[in-house]
Amino acid sequence: MNLLPVLRDSWYFFTHNLLAIARLCLPLIVLEGLFLQQVSSLVAAESAGLWRLLAGLLFYPLYSAALILFLDARSQGLQPRARDLLAAGLRLWPSFALLAGLNTLAILLGAALFVLPGIWLMVKLAFAEYLLVLRGLSPLKALHESFEMSSGYFWPMLGCILIVMLPLWLLDGWSQTSTTFADDALARLLLDCTSRFLQLLSSIVLFRLFMLRSTQPDIE
């Protein structure tokens, strides 16, 4: 699989639908950032990581499910309304939140053993969200099907994920340790929201890979 067309097409879609994606996802991303700032000021630093995970389970399923439905609609030439997509995302929230929790737990357990098992699981389970939202699979079934569906496509998927996400992970790591943002709450919020919004590009890339994979025969 050639990565360049996937990345090029995903970037083209992201830039040409930037306003629609921002209207759909950015308000929830900002709410997530504000929630995290408020919680971080009230809890001990040792608990901040746990609260970030909980905030992700609260907000991420809403805007991610809405984005996936938007991608599917646009791939069919449709122009859905943001409120309809968010309403559909809200209906999917319980199962999506459970899926996100199971996915995160599996990756963290893999990373706790060594870093590489966590990365391997992250790639193998990357299609689960699309299977749950677009095919209506249960969380456990979506995880199992993603594991099977990604067979033979690990390296292209890993390459696309790293190209998009590695710079953002490095930016997040730098911002959390930099003294530049230590006393500037607004700057931290803007940087955090910008990073989360740019991470949506990875969802578009994975959607593109998911659609391509769905049309190709299984590889043993």
Q: Where are the domains positioned within the chain? A: 3-214
pLDDT class of 6 with cuts at 50, 70, 90: very high
pLDDT at residue 52, as a whole number:
75
Residues 153-175, mean pLDDT to the nearest whole number:
86
Identity of residue 121:
L
With 50 as the cut, is the pLDDT of residue 220 above it?
Answer: no
Determine contact, residues 53/104, Cβ cutoff 8 Å: yes
Dihedral, CA of residue 164, residue 169, residue 172 and residue 178, to nearest 10: -120
Q: How many CA atoms lie within 13 A of 21 on its CB side?
A: 20
pLDDT class of 56 with cuts at 50, 70, 90: confident
- pLDDT tens for residues 21-38? 999 999 999 999 898 888
Residues 39-48, mean pLDDT to the nearest whole number:
66
The b-or-e profile of 203-217 (16+ CB within 10 A means b, else e) is bbbbbbbbeebeeee
Lowest model confidence (mean pLDDT) among 40-49, 70-79, 91-100: 40-49
pLDDT averaged over every residue in the chain: 87
With 70 as the cut, is the pLDDT of residue 122 above it?
Answer: yes
Structure tokens at 7: 């990345």
Whole-model pTM: value is 0.90
Residues 200-213, mean pLDDT to the nearest whole number:
93
> Of 15, 53, 171, which is closest to residue 180 (Cα–Cα)?
171
pLDDT at residue 181, as a whole number:
62
The span from the CA of 156 to the CA of 1, in Å, is: 6
pLDDT at residue 43, as a whole number:
65
Identity of residue 4:
L
The span from the CA of 28 to the CA of 111, in Å, is: 28
Residues 84-99, mean pLDDT to the nearest whole number:
95
Q: How many CA atoms lie within 13 A of 2 on its CB side?
A: 4
